Structure 1
Amino acid sequence: MNWYDLAALAVVAMLILGLHLARRRIGFTARTLLAIPLGVAVGVGFQGHVEYVEPIGSIYVNGLMALVGPLIIVSILSSVTGFGTAGTLRRVGLRSVGWLVLTTGIAIVLTLGVALSLGVGRGAELGGGSDVDTESLSRIVRPVPDVVVDFFPKNIVGDLADGKVIPVIIFTLLIAVAYAAVAGREPQVVEPVTRLIEAARVIIYRVVGYVIALTPYAVLGLTTVAVSDAAGNRAALWSLIGLLGISYLLCFVDAYLVNGVLLRVAADVNPLTWFRSFLPAQTTAFTTQSSIGTLPVTTDVLTHRIGVPREIAGFTAPLGANLGMPGCAAIWPLLVAIWGINATGMAYGAADYAVLAVLCLLVSLGTAGVPGTATITTTTVLAAAGLPLEFLALTLPISTVADMARTLTNVTAAGVATTIVARREGRLDDAVFLSRGVVTTTEVPTDQDGHREPLPEHESEHEHEHESDTEHESDTEPRRPALAP
């Protein structure tokens, strides 16, 4: 038994207790943010001795991942019942895909412009190239036809167990389309199914609330382990610190500057207010490094803090966790490719870079939002472009650290696209958005007598001290009309 590991666990346990006791005075978001510097301090102080702390974050991530399949299924099916018609479903679906692909396209152009202008990789010495093992990377390169086939469900239970989200989404969409077709002709036939879907939604969302309430404590554990691992690899990180810095720069410019402009122009909302409201999802994404794992938090924040209707949040956000992904499918693959091209002095012209851009856009259409996705997407892009896999292998020491910013960028883009779709549909509730996180009366579960049920911890804190005023505004203030497509 290692006493240093036990001491680290004891310190983390005391900090978790402190965060819990402070919940009445410090809001959910503030406690989540406070957990990050606390985790950094513990990770540095107990470098290499966080073995007993690691399960804290792992259990939380497993809990989130366990909810992903049921959440996607009930969210999409519930969205269809909320949309009412197949036409609305088709319109929302096309808009969702369009905006998710557009955010990735913008990230591609941004990365190409910045990386080529700065000459990323010039003068770098790619030492040890002959010693780099790329066999494991070669094994994950798959023919494009096989990738496309795997998009479609074969065994829905097996797909759920294996975490294959895209087949689950497609299968659920097939059920949803069939439901909408039957409901349009014989609504009485599907009425029991409608009640079942709604009941399942309320239950799953309640469970999601329980898990999300643990976020500040999980962030503390996840940050502690991440910082401890990174601190133990300083020597390996130093030679690639420039590439890591540029990746963070690109991710944060895309996440905040680019998306801020999109929010103002396309959704007509205040970007600063939006980012403050969306912060819990960004923090969870940064620490868990999983867009899929963050999905319960993302949908919760979009619904309860941003004012996106649950049917749109439950439809577009899951798509955004598997389609688009500008951090993992655009910024990182292009950055690694340009870094390696410049470092080796390869002759690469405008047409070659255009091919790289197209490849990244194609890869973004089927990206799984789980840790390590960027390695798969980058390997696919490099192999398809005929570039050496050593480029990626040499960057693996910084990949985990870079994945924090990449995941934050992915989740932010999905949230922005969802908000834009809601605005274009004329469904964004400005009363909820302007109140910065108050749950509307239509989203709060009620009992048979119409009385509110208790809210999860993060929804019942002092952030809701003006709840009654906001509910009145929600009942009287109409939603703003949809913008032009």
Structure 2
Amino acid sequence: MNNNLIKAFETNWISLVVSLVIIGFLYFLAKKRVSFGYRVLIGLGIGLIVGFIFNTYKIDAKSVSTIGTIYVNLIKMMVIPLVVVLVINSIAGLSNLGQLRKIGLKTIGLFLATTGIAALIGLLVALVFNPGSGIPQGTLKDFKPKEIPTFSQVILDLVPSNPFNEMATGKVVPVLIFAIFVAVAIVHIGSKKPDAVKPVKDLIASLAQVLHQVIKYVIRLTPYGVYALIAAMAAKYGVDTLKPLIMLILATYTALLLHFIITFGGLVTFVAKVNPFKFFRKAYPTIAVAFTTRSSYATLPVNLEVLTKKLRVSPRIASFVAPLGATINMNGCGGVWPAVVAIFVAGVYHIPLSVSDYILIVLVSMISSVGVAGVPGPAAISTTVVLTALGLPLEGLGLTLAIDAIVDMGRTAVNATGTTVSTLIVANSEGEFDRASFDRDEEDELELNPA
């Protein structure tokens, strides 16, 4: 036992020293003014290689995981303050509440439409790959299907009973709703007595500027955080975990990539009329952070900076659409994944599905993606709802647990990118997208390179 502890201690020091050297190398690149996007990509690539080496030689990577967790926690600390301040600030700037209703309907409509398309793409790709073929039936002994919350429970969870308690426990949806109520009250009072709410609006606007500066400090750590998170992930799972379910992984990532290119690329090109290559290059920090943190909420601060500073969307639109998207826009978790898993489970248990079942998969995926807003583990809940609607055995979901973290990186990246694209579309339709600034060729690094 003591020998095992000593060995673990020794290997943990090895991973820590290696990581410190790599972090030093990434810092050196920053001092040499290597672009932020390249440094994130380099960190991701090195992390993947180092993680697989750690896994192969059984080197303890807890210290690496700690570095990644620190980075994620620093981003998460910004989520609740941002939701409160930026949502109030964006809505308080509206001239009337009719604008809020119009923007809200456009936003939710886009979220639902893109999630439906994602489910359809996931369905078609899964039918081609047939990922359940050759997989033996069986379940994990400790697998327990997620309990689907009742409709009344979902509604109750969305309504804030104690805003400060909701903030303390990190419940974003009730906090979002509370912020909307406060903002609407400011607009209502301001239409009659502008001077009465001016101090509040000035305070909120000032806080928004301070929070944006804090976000910039945290975002500068992204290349190091991305390295640590990917290295820890690769060290934990290794290559062997992927082998039995390689077709399911391939089907999922193929569907996610097709949705990324066809749906997002199509909307950016033909609806927003923006160069898609330039768009995705500018949106890369959001995609990278979502991929590595596997959290739409954790990606929110980065996404807001990308939207306003790189994509030139007005803060008013970005501050409303992005927090809402982090909550209910689940193209990957609620669209692609449930559809792929449904076909996978049907294949494993040799259950034939009809055309009406395929239609049901798409419709239920759309509805459940909004219905589980704010519920922990939305991908598992949405998938459980779809499997239940089709009458497929929930035990089949247990077979996917071994690779859930692997596919969750791609799912979250698609979720966050979908929010970014939807925000651009809404801003463009409202005349709040600065196309001239976006089209300029100068490098816009969000002041991420340290002085």
- Tell me, yes or no, if structure 1 residue 392 matches structure 2 residue 365: no
Higher alpha-carbon deviation: 337-346 or 379-388: 379-388
What is the aligned counterpart of 2:153 among 133, 146, 155? Answer: 146
Aligned match of 1:203 = 210
* One-letter amino acid matched to 2:142: D
Post-superposition offset of 1:312: 0.8
Please say if 1:39 is aligned against 2:44. no
Q: Give yes or no for contact 2:97–2:184 (8 Å, CA) kept in 1.
A: yes
For each residue in 1:285-316, what CA deviation from the matched residue of structure 2 results, as whole angstroms up to 9, or x when unmatched?
Answer: 11111111011111100111111011111110
Q: Which of 19, 43, 54 is 1:12 aligned to? A: 19
C-alpha displacement of 1:436 = 5.8
Distance 1:178 1:282 in 2: 35
- Superposition pairs for residues 260-339 of structure 1, below 5 Å? 260-339=265-344
Deviation of the 1:116 alpha carbon: 2.6
Out of 334, 353, 368, the position equivalent to 2:358 is 353
Moved more, 384-393 or 94-103: 384-393
CA RMSD of aligned residues (A): 2.0
8 Å CA contact retained: 1:251, 1:405 = yes
Deviation at 1:133, TM superposition (A): 3.4
1:414 and 2:419 are equivalent in the alignment: yes
Conserved? CA contact 1:295–1:317, under 8 Å = yes
The answer on whether the counterparts of 2:122 and 2:256 sit within 8 Å (CA) in structure 1 is no
Change (3 A) 1:61 1:416: same
How far the C-alpha of 1:236 sits from its partner, in A, is: 3.9
Q: CA 1:230–1:432 in 2, change beyond 3 Å: closer, same or farther? A: farther
- How far residue 164 of structure 1 moved from its aligned partner, in angstroms, is 1.8
1:20-99 maps to which residues of 2 (within 5 A)? 20-23=27-30, 24-47=32-55, 48=58, 49-99=60-110
For residues 51 and 146 of structure 1, what CA distance do their matches in structure 2 show?
38
Q: Report whether the alignment pairs 1:458 with 2:417.
A: no
Q: Which has the higher contact order (CA 8 A, sep 6+)?
A: 2
Taking the aligned partners of 1:247 and 1:166, their CA distance within structure 2 comes to 28
TM-score, normalised to structure 1's length?
0.86
The yes-or-no answer on 1:105 pairing with 2:116 is: yes
Q: Confirm whether residue 134 of structure 1 aligns to residue 143 of structure 2.
A: yes
Q: Match for 2:163 among 156, 163, 166?
A: 156
Matching residue within 186, 190, 193 for 1:186: 193
Deviation at 1:73, TM superposition (A): 1.0
Structure 2 SS opposite 1:179: helix
Deviates more, 1:83-92 or 1:390-399: 83-92
Q: Please tell me the residue identity of whatever aligns with 2:92.
A: T
Asked whether the 8 Å contact 2:88–2:183 carries over to 1, the reply is yes
Q: 2:217 & 2:154 partners in 1: Cα distance?
A: 36
Could you report, residue by residue, the CA deviation over 1:232-289 in whole angstroms, capped at 9, with x for unpaired residues?
xx44431111000110111111123320011111111010100000001101111111
Aligned-residue offset at 1:406: 0.4
Q: Unaligned regions of 5+ residues in structure 2, if any?
A: 1-5
Taking the aligned partners of 2:442 and 2:377, their CA distance within structure 1 comes to: 32
User: What is the aligned-residue identity percentage?
Assistant: 37
How many Å apart are 1:203 and its aligned residue?
1.2
List aligned pairs for 1:230-249, cutoff 5 A: 230-231=237-238, 234-249=239-254
- The whole-number CA distance in structure 2 between the counterparts of 1:152 and 1:50 is 41
Farther off after superposition, 86-95 or 280-289 = 86-95
2:437 maps to which residue? Answer: 432
Number of equivalences: 440
The structural deviation recorded for 1:368 is: 5.2
Question: What aligned pairs does 1:168-187 form with structure 2 within 5 A after superposition?
Answer: 168-187=175-194
* Residue 382 (structure 2) pairs with residue 377 (structure 1): yes
Return 380-389 or 300-309, whichever deviates more.
380-389
Alpha-carbon distance between aligned partners in 2 of 1:369 and 1:3, rounded to the nearest angstrom = 41
Q: Which ranges in structure 1 are unaligned for 5 or more consecutive residues? A: 440-454, 462-485
